[in-house]
Amino acid sequence: MCLGIPGEIVEILSDRPDLAKVDVSGVRRAINIGLLEGEDLAPGDWILIHVGFALSKIDEAEAKSALDFLESIGQAYEDEIAALRESMIEQG
């Protein structure tokens, strides 16, 4: 829950500007980007995600090192990704 997970924006949804389709370790999910108002986000940008919300924009190098770190901690990260996989934010 406290882990910030980096994700790469794939698409900003035109009908819902507060949502983006984001690739998080291979899992594609809708993520709420409403807390990054004014950040001018575009596909290819990286964000740090907490419980379904982007809290900060980060650069690609930081995203990569954050991912390395998360992979190194093992179980806690796997649990978080498994939970994300189950997540159904804003679908339907």
Partner 1 sequence: MRFVDEYRDADKARALAARIAALCEPGRTYKFMEVCGGHTHTIYKHGLEDHLPPAVTLVHGPGCPVCVIPMGRVDDAISIAERPGVIMTSFGDMMRVPGGRGTFLDAMARGADIRMVYSPLDALKIARENPDKKVVFLAIGFETTAPSTAMTVLRAKSEGIANFSVFCNHVTIIPAIKAILDSPDLRLDGFIGPGHVSTVIGCRPYAFIARDYGKPLVVAGFEPLDVLQSVYQNLVQLAEGRVAVENQYARVVPWDGNPKALAVINEVMEPRPHFEWRGLGFISDSALRVREAYAAFDAERIFQIPGGRVADPQACQCGEVLKGVLKPWECKVFGTACTPETPIGTCMVSSEGACAAYYNFGRFSRDRVKEATRT
Which residues bind to partner 1, rule: CB under 8 A? 1-4, 32, 34-38, 48, 50-53, 55-56, 58-59, 62, 65-66, 68-69, 72-73, 75-76, 79, 83-84, 86-91
Q: How far is the CB of 44 from partner 1 (least distance, A)?
A: 18
Under 8 Å between Cβ of 61 and 6: no
- Which one, 44 or 68, has the nearer CB to partner 1? 68
- Which one, 42 or 83, has the nearer CB to partner 1? 83
Under 8 Å between Cβ of 73 and 66: no
Q: Which residues contact 59 (CB under 8 A, 6 or more apart)?
A: 46
Under 8 Å between Cβ of 3 and 70: yes
